[in-house]
Structure 1
């Protein structure tokens, strides 16, 4: 599941932070209780993992919203993923940037993103297979 949205934010960082808040609200409405959030901005990962130290940041209100929403979940893990390993999210963001307004939810992978998704899925499967063979 994923989504594309058009934000009127002035920085990529602010856009990603707003997308995180929207994504958290979406999985909360779907009553998902265990969440693993992957972000490709290391500074965003650091900020969300130490939200109480961002009280004076210009986006503190958004961070506070996220901090409050996270309390709903049984488990909530924030991971930094290199942009090279997060191509699907990047492509969904590109769709959002090309939209004139609004929001679009995807229950399945959009056709334009499917080749990238399949490539990433195969890479993850290969990595997991390597880890499994190392354990034997």
Structure 2
């Protein structure tokens, strides 16, 4: 009977089906009564859905009565247990434990070399929000950014382990953090290159930006700086190329009251100082020169400017561009 009517589930989840026999119809009619008094015995919890299968002791129907978040519909009892054991994960929602106190987190902090191997012994006791606030007040901007990246990746790792049963190694988390930190730094530096109508190098400049905003705001600030710089140099007919598509579209129809749109309005005002000007979108692959120039700022100090002769960091890229 199981092979015919419920081969891929248990009796409590079985459907009546199409054209059932009288015997199966009678048995199925008693399912709800059986369900009210039955409970699934939990072994490893791998096959027990926490919402749809009766597994909790008590006088109710044995299922969770909380409102079910859509994204958690398919979680199983095993997701509520400590990894590798049959004990309940009582610290499942303790963010301080996940981000700082557990052995895994301590190992990651040690590899990152932040010196924060233990929150309690480091003197940062309290709720997780208090700890983060302490870091915000005491750390440099760069170190605070690194702390946030580590915390974010530790929490993502925890979620992947709990819900997807995928374990990311300490080295994997470290690599993700360092890659994200590098990209964040890239967003906080600006590289501007002026070329003539034939693509020949005329002038270049790079410098760091205040990395206090979102990536799109940083892009808008970068364009504003470039427009001011080129205006001061006296150029009147220009095409400004950027790989920030949203910024280009905003310059054509600035609508909104966010800080991003306020910066765009400043850009539009600067555009009025040119006789002929265009802000154009190019893919990132066509904007390599500017990105390489921005990357180079982290091996330099201050603002750098080159006239007539390009810096070594973009010389090869310019040659490749001229060939293509």
Shorter-chain TM-score tier: 0.7 to 0.9
1:102 corresponds to which residue? 302
In structure 1, runs of 5+ residues without a counterpart are 124-136
Match for 2:267 among 47, 56, 66?
A: 66
Which consecutive aligned stretches of 4+ in structure 1 deviate over 3 angstroms post-superposition? 99-102
CA 1:31–1:68 in structure 2 vs 1: closer, same or farther (change >3 Å)? Answer: same
Shift of 1:99: 5.7
RMSD: 1.7
Q: What's 1:5 paired with?
A: 207
Q: Quick check: 1:26 aligned with 2:229?
A: yes
Aligned to 1:114: 315
Structure 1 residue 57 and structure 2 residue 258: aligned? yes
Q: Quick one: distance in 1 between partners of 2:319 and 2:207?
A: 23
Residue segments in structure 2 that go unaligned for 5+ positions in a row: 1-202
Secondary structure (helix, strand or coil) at the match of 1:16 reads helix
In the alignment, is the contact (CA less than 8 A) between 2:238 and 2:278 conserved in 1? Answer: yes
More strand by share: 1
Which has the larger displacement, 76-85 or 42-51?
Answer: 42-51
Distance in 1 separating the partners of 2:262 and 2:302: 22
Tell me how far apart the structure 1 counterparts of residues 302 and 265 of structure 2 sit (CA, whole Å): 24
TM-score relative to the length of structure 2: 0.35
Quick one: which of 241, 248, 255 aligns to 1:38?
241
Instruction: Indicate conservation of the 8 Å contact 1:6/1:100, yes or no.
Output: no
Task: Describe the SS at the equivalent of 1:37.
Answer: strand
Distance 1:15 1:105 in 2: 20
| Length-normalised TM-score, structure 1 | 0.79
Give the structure with the higher percent helix: 1
Count of aligned pairs between the two proteins: 120
Give the Å deviation of 1:82. Answer: 0.6
Q: Which has the larger radius of gyration?
A: 2
